[in-house]
């Protein structure tokens, strides 16, 4: 229990407002019902869509392999059956944490016994680029379909410049390349993804892009972006003054958690909503998903983390609902092994754990040449994570080792046995 928190267990016939109708919001509602909550659940969503899945936005939906209905996570009927009163196209504009009251942008106030904060994150734009013609980010269905239509409009011949070689940028690059387009990725870091997967693996993943014909330019700073005009295509100007021509520009330089509406709420905001180990941000207020910065006890120590992964969001939502129902005195600390996947060039990249840049990397199977490999991250002789490219069995075999922070020798033994 966090010092100072006195959340009583949520009455089973009480009331909850969930702010955010994405994965975290939906899973929170489901978990409250599964936990026996019979009271009213109101879910607010700033977008006009029923809860939908974001991973396909840079993959199947962008590729054109899926249509929009397929990314929906729950139908209106399902939400009605769950007893969720859904208000779409209505953003919350403020929260009074002391009275658990949510103010809506249309001026209404909703007071509830508990509030779940699930407003996720929003993409960062480069200064002056928001709304520029021919320049895109990908976070929503509209973002994905607008980009898809522009890419398809190139008819298989054109150049896409992706700014940022993180997972979102890399997936867009991969999907655009599969449409037959020329793709250049501009990355400020010397080693793309280095801070996330380490320099060794970052170099290998970059190599996979290059082998697919993508030009990856690492260690370059972008100066500014020039929009499409009636006479010219968009282009990217590097800090060096060099102009990189494009037909379409995509910005994938990360996100910021959606906390603006919580200013003045009384909550602590620090790159996310600061929560305790059970996801309480204040009495009767929990945060989940991309928004939540929580205290995470793991086999190798304790960290304050905000994790933008699909599976972690689903796990946090289930946990937050359980915390509300238990009350702060009896709520359990979050216990999870972070899992992330990405699909690029027809291969699945999977990571378990949360390696830090200082971790060492042990290459245990496969090779870049095969475009299939597995590495184990270790810290002071203990397993901190695993990453596999096209190696799902290896990754899952390592799960217990990552969870336990097992001795590195256990991982070595696993991969040396016939």
Binding residues for ligand FAD, per CB under 6 A?
19-25, 44-47, 54-55, 57-58, 91-92, 118-121, 138-139, 168, 258, 261, 289-291, 308-311, 313, 340-342
Neighbouring C-beta atoms of residue 62, cutoff 10 Å: 26
Which is nearer to ligand FAD, 217 or 348 (by Cβ)? 348
Which is nearer to ligand FAD, 93 or 367 (by Cβ)? 93
Minimum CB distance to ligand FAD, residue 292 (Å):
8
**For residue 6, what are its two tokens?**
């006195």
Site of tokens 């975290």: 24
Site of tokens 């209905």: 69
CB 74 within 8 A of CB 116: no
Neighbouring C-beta atoms of residue 384, cutoff 10 Å: 25
Which is nearer to ligand FAD, 244 or 321 (by Cβ)? 321
**Side-chain half-sphere exposure of 30, counting CA atoms within 13 A:** 17
Which is nearer to ligand FAD, 9 or 55 (by Cβ)? 55
Minimum CB distance to ligand FAD, residue 368 (Å):
21
Minimum CB distance to ligand FAD, residue 393 (Å):
19
Minimum CB distance to ligand FAD, residue 297 (Å):
21
Minimum CB distance to ligand FAD, residue 191 (Å):
21
Segments of 81-181 assigned E as strands:
84-88, 92-96, 101-104, 109-111, 114-117, 121-123, 135-136, 159-163
- Rounded to 5 degrees, φ, ψ at 132 are -65, 140
* Residues 340, 323, 329: CA angle, nearest 5 degrees: 135
Site of tokens 């870091």: 189
| Paired sense of beta strands 135-136 and 248-251, if any | parallel
Which is nearer to ligand FAD, 340 or 373 (by Cβ)? 340
Minimum CB distance to ligand FAD, residue 416 (Å):
30
Which is nearer to ligand FAD, 57 or 384 (by Cβ)? 57
Distance CA(21)–CA(160), nearest Å, equals 32
Class of residue 342 by CB neighbours under 10 A (exposed 0-12, middle 13-18, buried 19+): buried
Distance CA(209)–CA(160), nearest Å, equals 14
Q: Which residues contact 306 (CB under 8 A, 6 or more apart)?
A: 257, 271, 272, 290, 291, 292, 293, 294
| Paired sense of beta strands 121-123 and 255-257, if any | antiparallel
Which is nearer to ligand FAD, 19 or 112 (by Cβ)? 19
Which is nearer to ligand FAD, 158 or 252 (by Cβ)? 252
Minimum CB distance to ligand FAD, residue 70 (Å):
15
Minimum CB distance to ligand FAD, residue 383 (Å):
21
Minimum CB distance to ligand FAD, residue 55 (Å):
4
Which is nearer to ligand FAD, 110 or 362 (by Cβ)? 110
Q: Which residue in 140, 149, 93, 100 sits closest to 121, CA to CA?
A: 140
């Amino acid at each position: 229990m966090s010092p100072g928190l006195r959340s009583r267990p949520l009455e089973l016939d009480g009331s909850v407002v969930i702010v955010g109708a994405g994965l975290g919001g939906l899973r929170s509602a489901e978990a409250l019902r599964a936990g026996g909550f019979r009271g009213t659940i109101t879910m607010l969503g700033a977008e006009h869509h029923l809860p939908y899945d974001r991973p396909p936005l840079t993959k199947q939906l962008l590729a054109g392999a899926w249509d929009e209905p397929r990314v929906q996570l729950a139908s209106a009927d399902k939400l009605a059956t769950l007893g969720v009163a859904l208000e779409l196209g209505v953003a919350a504009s403020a929260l009074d944490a002391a009275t658990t009251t949510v103010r809506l942008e249309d001026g209404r106030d909703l007071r509830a016994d508990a509030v779940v904060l699930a407003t996720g994150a929003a993409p960062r734009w480069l200064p002056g680029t928001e709304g520029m013609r021919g320049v895109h980010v990908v976070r929503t269905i509209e973002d994905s379909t607008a980009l898809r239509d522009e890419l398809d409009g190139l008819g298989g011949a054109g150049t896409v410049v992706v700014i940022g070689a993180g997972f979102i940028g890399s997936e867009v690059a991969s999907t655009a390349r599969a449409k037959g387009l020329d793709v250049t990725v501009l990355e400020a870091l010397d080693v793309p993804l280095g801070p996330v997967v380490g320099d060794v693996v970052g170099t290998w993943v970059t190599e996979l892009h290059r082998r697919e014909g993508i030009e990856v330019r690492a260690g370059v700073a972008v100066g500014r972006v020039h929009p499409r005009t009636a006479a010219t295509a968009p282009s990217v100007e590097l800090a060096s003054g060099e102009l990189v021509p494009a037909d379409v520009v995509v910005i994938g330089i990360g996100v910021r958690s959606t906390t603006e509406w919580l200013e003045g709420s009384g909550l602590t905001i620090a790159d996310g909503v600061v929560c305790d180990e059970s996801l309480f941000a204040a009495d009767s207020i929990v945060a989940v998903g991309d928004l939540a910065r929580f205290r995470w006890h793991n086999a190798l120590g304790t960290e304050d983390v905000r994790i933008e992964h699909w599976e972690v969001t689903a796990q946090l939502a289930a946990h937050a609902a359980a915390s509300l129902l238990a009350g702060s005195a009896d709520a359990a600390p979050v216990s999870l092994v972070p899992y992330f996947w990405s699909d690029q060039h027809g291969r699945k990249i999977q990571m378990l754990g949360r390696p830090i840049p200082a971790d060492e990397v042990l290459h245990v199977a496969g090779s870049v040449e095969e475009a299939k490999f597995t590495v184990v991250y270790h810290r002071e002789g203990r397993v901190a994570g695993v990453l596999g490219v096209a190696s799902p069995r290896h990754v899952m075999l390592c799960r217990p080792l990552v969870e336990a922070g097992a001795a590195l020798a256990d991982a070595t033994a696993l991969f040396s046995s016939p």
